[in-house]
Amino acid sequence: GEDVEQSLFLSVREGDSSVINCTYTDSSSTYLYWYKQEPGAGLQLLTYIFSNMDMKQDQRLTVLLNKKDKHLSLRIADTQTGDSAIYFCAEDNYGQNFVFGPGTRLSVLP
């Protein structure tokens, strides 16, 4: 079955880079996603990468995909206190049944 794993916690200092890692098992995933959830809120789609790409950059966000190792990462440059949230990695299979990881709780220290 499909499974997505992430480390549960990450702490960084304000201004540093954050790297959140994710591994997945479904090699037929079409897209892989990163979502952000702030306390008491829904999930915000941050970015996504098509499975035949290996990198995507969007302002402070860089997504790296290693399809061979089924490893996805999200790098946030110049991390700010407003970036403190839970970050979910997710995969899909042609749009069916998005599978989410457990989420990585990012804490940004002043």
Partner 1 sequence: NAGVMQNPRHLVRRRGQEARLRCSPMKGHSHVYWYRQLPEEGLKFMVYLQKENIIDESGMPKERFSAEFPKEGPSILRIQQVVRGDSAAYFCASSPGTGGAFFGQGTRLTVV
Binding site for partner 1 (CB under 8 A): 30-31, 33, 35, 41-45, 48, 88, 92, 94-103
Residue number, 3 or 14, with CB nearest to partner 1 = 3
From CA 93, how far away is CA 66, in angstroms rounded?
17
CB of 95 to partner 1, least distance (A): 5
Looking at the Cβ atoms of 75 and 105, the one nearer to partner 1 is 105
Shortest distance (Å) from residue 99 CB to partner 1: 7
Task: Report the candidate in 62, 65, 67 with the shortest Cα–Cα distance to residue 77.
Answer: 62
Q: Of 78, 53, 73, which is closest to residue 63 (Cα–Cα)?
A: 73
Q: How far is the CB of 31 from partner 1 (least distance, A)?
A: 7
d(CA 14, CA 16): 6
Structure tokens at 78: 């110049």
Rank residues 22 and 76 by Cβ distance to partner 1 and give the closer one: 22
